[in-house]
């Protein structure tokens, strides 16, 4: 069997920045084991598998890290929609409906940008039982919990950029991962980074799902329903966020980097 696979850098307009995802547009079924094996081979934070459903504008979308299947991934959804338009699976301006483990997700191309409609992830003020008020030498000013992750607010954007976590400690004291965030600088309202060693990613370059929670967190903190966000990983990435009731609109760009075939 041969399948085509494409690597797309998401949340950027420049190759070799943003967050890379592998995208497979499938014309035939793969087993769960085959999808997981391909994701292990690609060794990116996520590999996305897209398949047509019986409805003309609806597609099945699944995401795999090198270690496991996950419930929600923003950058691989953005990458999938981008490549579907480029490959002729969808038209510019069309709303693509993805059926996922997190329900229906909608993505629409608007000029050079893609606009994703995601669920808002609720956050709850709570202090972490291990880290308390300190995260590897940086002071935690506020903290919040979501279902399988934590948010730690640090003092400023410089603290985000300079943070050097011990991933073995993060792994021991988190279920999935930890989001650190702070008020932004320059044109950005917020900065963040995401550490997820328990899902096979020590640091994710740009994390869509984390911003579904960060939108709720910062709306509670500031009352702003629109944010320009920067994820300050080594690769870096830009996201534009808007809260609409219990949904988050995430806008980003993407660029193709590589296409090839996997044979097995």
CATH number for position 19: 3.10.310.10
Each residue of 21-65: pLDDT tens digit?
A: 999 999 999 999 999 999 999 999 899 999 999 887 799 999 999
Q: CA 239, CA 255: separation in Å to the nearest integer?
A: 15
- Is 46 annotated in the active site? yes
Same domain as 151, residue 111 = no
Assign residue 211 a region (left: φ > 0; alpha: ψ between -120 and 50; beta: otherwise). Answer: alpha
- Structural domain count of the chain: 2
CB distance 129 to 143 below 8 Å: no
Q: Residue 14: what pLDDT?
A: 95
CA nearest to 252, candidates 229, 235, 233, 234: 229
Same domain as 102, residue 154 = no
Token digits for 90?
Answer: 């969808």
Same domain as 168, residue 96 = no
Which residues make Cβ contacts (< 8 Å) with residue 251, sequence separation at least 6?
Answer: 110, 113, 114, 115, 116, 239, 240, 241, 242
Same domain as 110, residue 6 = yes
How much is the pTM? 0.92
Same domain as 184, residue 74 = no
CB distance 229 to 192 below 8 Å: yes
Q: Residue 261: what pLDDT?
A: 96
Task: Name the least confident of 10-14, 64-68, 152-156.
Answer: 64-68
Q: CA 185, CA 230: separation in Å to the nearest integer?
A: 9
Domain that holds residue 154: 124-244
Same domain as 108, residue 17 = yes
Same domain as 191, residue 90 = no
Q: Which of 46, 153, 203, 238 is catalytic?
A: 46
Q: CA 203, CA 209: separation in Å to the nearest integer?
A: 14
């Amino acid at each position: 069997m041969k399948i085509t696979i494409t690597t797309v850098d998401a949340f950027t307009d420049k190759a070799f920045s943003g967050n890379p995802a592998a995208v497979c547009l499938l014309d035939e079924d793969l087993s769960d084991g085959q999808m997981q094996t391909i994701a292990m081979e690609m060794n990116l934070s996520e590999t996305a598998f897209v398949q047509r459903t019986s409805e003309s504008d609806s597609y099945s979308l699944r995401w795999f890290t090198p270690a496991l299947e996950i419930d929600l991934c923003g950058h691989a959804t953005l990458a999938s929609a981008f490549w579907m338009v480029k490959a002729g699976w969808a038209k510019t301006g069309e709303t693509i409906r993805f059926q996922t483990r997190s329900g229906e997700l909608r993505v629409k191309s608007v000029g050079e940008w893609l606009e994703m409609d995601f669920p808002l992830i609720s956050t709850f003020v709570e202090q972490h039982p291990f880290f308390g008020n300190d995260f590897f030498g940086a002071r935690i000013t506020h903290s919040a919990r979501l279902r399988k992750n934590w948010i730690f607010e640090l003092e400023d954007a410089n603290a985000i950029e300079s943070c050097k976590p011990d991933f073995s400690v993060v792994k021991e004291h988190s279920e999935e991962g930890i989001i650190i965030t702070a008020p932004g600088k320059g044109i950005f309202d917020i900065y963040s980074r995401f550490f997820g060693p328990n899902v096979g990613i020590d640091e994710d370059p740009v994390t869509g799902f984390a911003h579904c929670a960060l939108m709720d967190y910062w709306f509670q903190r500031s009352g702003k329903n629109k944010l320009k966000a920067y994820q300050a990983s080594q690769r870096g990435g830009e996201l534009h966020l808007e809260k609409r009731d219990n949904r988050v609109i995430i806008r980003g760009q993407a660029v193709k980097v590589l296409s090839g075939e996997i044979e097995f």
